[in-house]
Structure 1
């Protein structure tokens, strides 16, 4: 099981996102836990009111929480089991007795549920959210995997199965709703899983999934207003379909949102530098061209993405490590991993290993040679040999 937690002050967007999925027939509301009425008797406004009542008791800006619990594709979980898992998880992360809405979604290749709730208690106090994902949620996840017999998140085979696939552009080119749904699935995965520290680094990952985050031209109004849209890319890397504003997605991956992630990711990814550097160094031992280097790195789960000028000159390189889920601009790893250094290192000829048979023949020739030393013999060695002969004659 994998748990992903988002929090904000826009519970209306969280609720709208899930209810919209229900309206499209690709989700179902399974439960309204700790509500005064049963789920069947609640309409949209009553669902919202149940959470707004608590949110109004506090002036805190962060008062809404959206959680997704993701399971292995092989797991077939009944509605009752999903409700039991959600209840256990909420209690273990400190949300016992908090009202929440539980939705099962059917729009992905693996079973998953979404939970909409608030971190404001009935007495107006707030449940602390700092490190909740890395501490309480991790403890809860591991306990629940054992208690319910779920596939463990550490299972590498499961991680590979659940890895989000690149957007199928042809299937998504039927209007804004389909485009938004396709991009949203990738964003939810990439923004929570990968550690990047700039927009170009984020785009290095997104382009692996046929998506790009675009600020527009520097002279454009969108750029001046710090706007951001997400678009799909075709096989040639051209933007296609309807661009979607960052603020239209339920997690709102705007520039402001991303800038906060940059700062947090910068420190979190430092320990992963060595893995990429070592992999590049090893690949260069057997690579004699940039193309072969890229091919070798890809086999080890690293995409080396080249940045080129209009006339084809390579001026930058970004490494996307899909195993460690980190992204680094080449120069951030050190001088030896920048685009310029990599081109120079690829241009160096590999040392030719001596042929063992030729080596034996050369050695035999030297040993059997009875002639006087050749003129190629160093002058100093010739002199030493002559001196020895004179001493013997005396």
Structure 2
């Protein structure tokens, strides 16, 4: 059994969430909890003059999918867990989340007493591990096994029905960040999508402070988000917005002309041998290259990204040349996807001269100091308070970031 990620408390009253137990928190007879009323109940136990800046603790417990547990079992497990950590007499709410087949428990409580004194949080991770181990033995649960990552660890698509989803997401992001080179957020999301993930930038305010970060979502077979997003802060610093921008900056320096040329030759060969889009994609796979296409609602190709698993580079089509950009591929494969044989492509246009929008959104530098995700495994936000909102578009943020970095290089102070 593992600790996992928080979800929006607004989903408690939906079909996929159900309250199992509370302490010092009022629940109406119909079980429909008012979010604002719940927040007020928690605030009543947190003195306004308290010195603890992060008094709210949000934890999730994730039994193995093969463990068959009743709601009563889950509630008892959560209460025992809180007792072992010394939070058994605190106000708390325990609810079961069933947005995916892997049922899990969420606990929201506070780590200060009514006098504003902070409860013992020393060695909380070690104590939490000890508590979950004891509970596993008592209830004969399957033990959580931490996967050791190494350079040869294979990348697998995230499966919501195969164990700890948070751990799967974290491991997948960590391997992608260490293994692949990419130069835009769009290219990053292209390689994430191969393994059932996507990322989105978030913006908001926390205690009057601007917040900028990333959230990761699992995708189904049709590319639709399922479940609830994982904040980067709960996965690790390697997944944060800052870390991704730093990776983009390094990639711009590390992707060699030789690597691009190698990918270009193999893509050109595949295109020359193909008479349809499906044949092109299949031929690329034979050469260990994946193609991620993005479509408008009308079915037009507006984005094309090649992921070369030999060179571990992720390249928008326009970086390889006009012949491989989205517009060219859309024109070539439009209609019934059957095309006549075209002359062999010997040497595509130099991508360094391209002015395609996908290249223009490339990030020029890593950001300087700004509020970002912490590596903490807990979420201290009050439920019901919108701490972040999904940005309407990634490209706009990239452009804003690019402008701020240019101002910095000219000696002006960037406005974060």
Q: TM-score, normalised by structure 1?
A: 0.45
Structure with bigger gyration radius: 1
Q: Which has the higher helix share?
A: 1
Q: TM-score, normalised by structure 2?
A: 0.43
